[in-house]
Structure 1
Amino acid sequence: MEFSQSDNNNLPLTKFESMLKTNHVLFFDSEEFENIIHYYLNQGKIALAKKAIKLGLEQHPSSINLKLFNVEIHVFENNLDAADSLLNELYRLEPHNEEIFIQKANILSKQDNHKKAIAVLKHALDLTEDVVDIYSLIGMEYLFLDAFDDAKTYFMKCLEQDIDDYSALYNVIYCFDYLEQHQEAIDYLNIFLDKNPYCEVAWLQLGKQYVSIKKYKKALAAFDFAIISDDTFVGAYLERGKVLEKQGEFVEAIESYQITLELDDPTSFALLRIGGCYEKLGNSDLALQYYYKTVHEDPLLDKGWIAITKFYKKKKNLQKALYYINKAINIDAENVNYWKLYAQINQSLNFFEEAERGYKKALELGNFELDTWITRGDLLLKLGEPQAAIFNFEQALEFYPDNAEIQYRLGGLFFTIQERDKGVYYIKNGLKNNEEFSFIIDELFPKLLANEQVTSLINSKS
């Protein structure tokens, strides 16, 4: 028997905790100790579990199950040698106890020896009639090996034994998704639903598979069946809303999202999607209202702040857009999307120094997109910082070594600072990679059009 906080039969647990407070040792049978330890482990109260194991073994020194709990604690605390040593002792006492093999596999798994762990677990299958948990463990070991077909097979075996094992169902679909076997997943789910027609989770997964292959009408039908199976299933309403959005049915999508707000606490995702639908319907007031609700519900959701900022950016209200992106950056200064948007707005406002700072920060945070490098470099050139621009473009070449747009810019910059050999080198490389981008010299370095060496280089290819 397992205890819970509301369990009326938790007298042994109450008695045990009372004993700990009084230091007055009381007797418990071994099964009571097992239930107490199991409860503490489920609650994550490891110190209390260890006390119960210690007292349990003092009162029942020959209990294999209590010793196995001791092994479990050692494995949890990564004392793998001690755990292995205890298991070897237990194996000599009970060589046919499947739990010994399960814990042995657990140790092997922690040591990244997943193939051996699978072999040990398969041996455990021969020792027990309760195979579901072992099938699941084997499936997880195959996942560690990226052997998704084998993992899928064992999670399917779990479902053959227990059709309500939703964890196994999710893992089966995860394997199908990883292997991009969407049609196979659909076939499997349809067979599964023939046996379990009111499984809302399976209907939801079926709908998502239809979305993957762009069969939106079938997806909607599947989500509707999920809702028929459980009309409080928030996930089905959300997925249904997303599909309706894809089909341009924004009013119906809003209705689907609104139901989730009535069924449960508002989610920032639903609020954001409702705002997006209202914006597409041209209802700016309601769109903005829901975007504000989104960031109020979850100030850390970047998509909410980005939606508000882009809303004002589209309306050409750049000062308000800047206000909200600054607000977002104050909340999360490490969000690369915020800095990119910050840079773009400042650039539109002709605040070039702030724009350059934004692109620089985006690069520092790992946004190595080509346009980020190029736009920042062009801003540095506009700000009269050719050396900084050169350094920027040289870094960019490490990511885009054959990019003509970068090479022309470097060529022009080196001519500007009188390093002509390097200028020639980069312009030649630019011409070699893409002649059509030679207009970059005209646009960014118009003074070089009077340089015979530069014009000769460009004209030689035309």
Structure 2
Amino acid sequence: MHPEFEERQPDWRDSVQRFEVMLKNQERQFFDLDTYEHIVEHYIGEGNWERALQACDFGLEHFPYSLELMLDKAHLLAQNQRFDESLEILDRAALFNPHDLDVLFMQGGVYSMMGEYDQSVEVYEQMLLYIEEEEKDDILFQMGQAYQNGGKYEEAIEQYKKALQYNLDNENALYELAFCLEITGQLESSIDFYNELIDRDPYSHNAWYNLGIVYSKLGQYQDALQAYDYATVIKEDFASAYFNMANAYMNLERYKEANEKYLLTLRNETPTSDLYCHLAGSYEKLKDFGKALEYYREALKLDNQWDEAWYGVAVCLAVEEKWIESLNCVRKAIKLNEHVADYWLTLGELEYKIGNVFSAIEAFEKAAELDPEYEDIWLKWSLTMFDQGQFDKAYEVIQDGLNELPDNATLYYRAAAYLFHGGDYKEALLNLEIALTLDYSAHEQLYVFFPELEKQKALFKLIEQYRK
């Protein structure tokens, strides 16, 4: 805030009060242009757009050529979706201030809000004729946004790339470029582009960082780690790069290194619930459930509406066999977000643990409805039936799963196990044959369902015949 304005703040508040009295009493008082501008600014800051518009109208009665008031009024009208009136004001402003960049910029924005993206681009192209070189990247970015919003991703990509030619550190352009490249299936081909940017400026931490993002999205995590590492060497406090490094390590199942990078992120960034949950997740993978629980709770201190944190707490409490407490936490997670299959799956397991079989089945059904291709749902749901000796029902659940995942060897092995236990040996052998054909090496999972040594030997001989 400008020091002079800070000193005069009481005067502005007094002016706002006088303006309120004037409106209430339907009087007319004189305010100078500077005061009108600050009254409008005050109401905009409060989110009182109706009163801000009134202040603009009164101000323009006395100062009809005020560019600032015209821009404020145009902005307020556009926010209220009164686009034609907004453009009319901007046309008037342009008449008195030809080629004014603020006027042109707002015109482009209004056209974009109207969905008139081609006209928006035309205005921005006009701006490029008058704007300084060092500011062109922002306008090119806006052109990219207009094309992107209009579904013209190729044109958007072109503008974002041009923006980066002017300013390699335009983070918005880098981010939106990556999004458009991904949505158009050009991620792999974009690697050369990012390498060109790096050749131009090897010390651009943003270029290295975005190259890392591309590699991450392509599943090339080792290459991503190298790119993120360069970014953090150049910018040692680059929290986002450390965070993405941690995610890459998690995908590589290198949980200790992931944990270290999440901690580095925490050291260089204001904590968020999301960061705490990721950090807790790395501790969870390291089987340090005490630490995981600690950080999930830290996440909830920042935002007790964070469903992932409630779910994380539930998982950690379940490890400690605190079934009731865990159940309450997963229910809170579901109340906040009922569209996550994992939440319902865990709810089903917990309900079954405490003996609520019907509630467990309802939860498994909901999980399967949300994500029918999630293998674990069918396995854990059917296991509850098997544990109760309901072999036919267990097999029916697996059959439903096979309708969704017809080439899943694990489901066929499980079907064979249930059928053997149910005494349907012919059907069991058919399912076993299919499972062995799909993935012979996975057959050992069958032995868990036949702990008796004699049965294991018989099963082994049977499986050996199929190998031959």
Q: TM-score range by the shorter chain?
A: 0.5 to 0.7
Hey, what does 1:187 align to over in structure 2? Answer: 192
Question: Does residue 83 of structure 2 align to residue 60 of structure 1?
Answer: no
| Residue of 11, 17, 23 corresponding to 2:13 | 17
For residue 237 of structure 1, report the CA deviation from its aligned partner: 2.0
- Mapping of 1:369-448 within 5 angstroms? 403=403
The residue type equivalent to 1:63 in the other structure is: S
1:135 counterpart (123, 134, 140): 140
Q: Quick one: structure 1 residues 81 and 196, their matched pair in 2 at CA, closer, same or farther if it must change by over 3 Å?
A: same
Aligned pairs for 1:248-397 (under 5 A) are 248-311=253-316, 320-330=322-332, 332-333=334-335, 334-335=337-338, 336=340, 337-347=342-352, 351-359=356-364, 362=367, 366=370
Mapped partners of 1:284, 1:89: distance in 2: 65
1:81-100 to structure 2, matched below 5 A, reads 81-90=84-93, 96-97=99-100, 99-100=102-103
The yes-or-no answer on 1:151 pairing with 2:159 is: no
Give, as a single letter, the amino acid of the residue that structure 1 aligns with 2:122. Answer: A
Going from structure 1 to structure 2, the CA distance change for 1:367 and 1:16 (only over 3 Å counts) comes to: same
Among 72, 75, 79, which residue is 1:76 paired with?
Answer: 79
Q: Give me the whole-angstrom Cα distance separating, in 2, the residues matched to 1:13 and 1:286.
A: 49
Shift of 1:324: 0.8
- Check the 8 A contact 2:330/2:346 in 1, yes or no: no
**Greater CA deviation, 38-47 or 302-311?**
38-47
CA distance in 1, matches of 2:374, 2:289: 33
- Aligned-pair CA distance for 1:147: 1.7
Alpha-carbon separation, structure 1, partners of 2:221 and 2:379: 40
Q: Which amino acid aligns with 1:222?
A: A
CA offset at residue 378 of structure 1? 11
Q: Which segments of 5 or more consecutive residues in structure 1 lack a partner in the other structure?
A: 384-388, 407-435, 450-462
Q: 1:100 & 1:293 partners in 2: Cα distance?
A: 47
Q: Which amino acid aligns with 1:58?
A: E
Matched to 1:261, the amino acid is: L
- Aligned residues of 1:87 and 1:100 also touching (Cα < 8 A): yes
Q: Equivalent of 2:53, from 26, 35, 50? A: 50
Query: Is the contact made by 1:226 and 1:233 (CA closer than 8 Å) also made in structure 2?
Result: yes
Q: Which residue of 1 aligns with 2:176?
A: 171
Deviation at 1:240, TM superposition (A): 2.2
| Kept in 1: contact 2:333–2:343 (CA 8 A) | no
Q: What secondary structure sits across from 1:232 in the alignment?
A: coil
Q: Deviations over 1:156-193 (max 9, x none)?
A: 33333344432223222222233343344433333334
Separation (CA, whole Å) in 2 of partners of 1:441 and 1:222: 49
DSSP-derived class of the 1:157 partner: helix
Q: d(CA) in 1 for partners of 2:415 and 2:278?
A: 44
- Does residue 209 of the first structure (1) align with residue 214 of the second (2)? yes
2:153 aligned partner, one-letter code? F
Deviations 1:245-268 (A, max 9, x none): 344443333222223333444444
Q: CA deviation at 1:143?
A: 0.8
Give the CA deviation at 1:139.
1.1
Per the alignment, do residues 156 and 405 of structure 1 end up closer, same or farther by CA in structure 2, a change over 3 Å counting?
Answer: closer
In structure 1, C-alpha distance between the alignment counterparts of 2:371 and 2:226, rounded to whole Å: 40
What are the ranges of 5 or more consecutive residues in structure 2 without an aligned counterpart?
Answer: 23-28, 407-412, 427-468
The worse-fitting range, judged by mean Cα deviation, of 145-154 and 257-266 is: 257-266
Structure 2 CA distance, aligned partners of 1:441 and 1:243? 39
Tell me, yes or no, if structure 1 residue 160 matches structure 2 residue 156: no
C-alpha distance after superposition, 1:379-408 (max 9, x if no partner): 99x99xxxxx9xx99xx99xx9x94999xx
Q: CA 1:52 to 1:191, structure 2 compared with 1: closer, same or farther past 3 Å?
A: farther
Q: Which amino acid aligns with 2:13?
A: E
Alpha-carbon distance change, 306 to 331 in structure 1, aligned in 2, over 3 angstroms: closer
Contact 2:345 2:363 in 1 (8 A): yes
C-alpha distance after superposition, 1:166-224 (max 9, x if no partner): 22232222222333433444333333344555443333222222323444444333323
Task: Assess if the C-alpha contact under 8 Å between 1:200 and 1:226 holds in 2.
Answer: yes
Return the offset for 1:74.
0.9
Contact 2:323 2:354 in 1 (8 A): no
Give 1:19 shift: 1.9
2:118: which partner in 1? 115
Equivalent residues of 1:295, 1:301 under 8 A apart: yes
Q: Residue 140 of structure 2 contacts residue 162 of structure 2 at CA under 8 Å; is this kept in 1?
A: yes
Match for 1:226 among 205, 216, 231?
231
Q: CA deviation at 1:144?
A: 0.9
Aligned to 1:430: none
TM superposition score normalised by structure 2: 0.66
| Preserved contact between residue 273 and residue 302 of structure 2 (Cα < 8 Å) | yes
Give the deviation of 1:445 after TM superposition.
10
Cα RMSD over matched residues? 4.7
Report how far residue 142 of structure 1 moved.
Answer: 0.7
**Structure 2 vs 1, CA of residues 212 and 373 (structure 1 numbering), >3 Å: closer, same or farther?**
closer
Instruction: Read off the aligned partner of 1:238 and give its amino acid letter.
Output: F
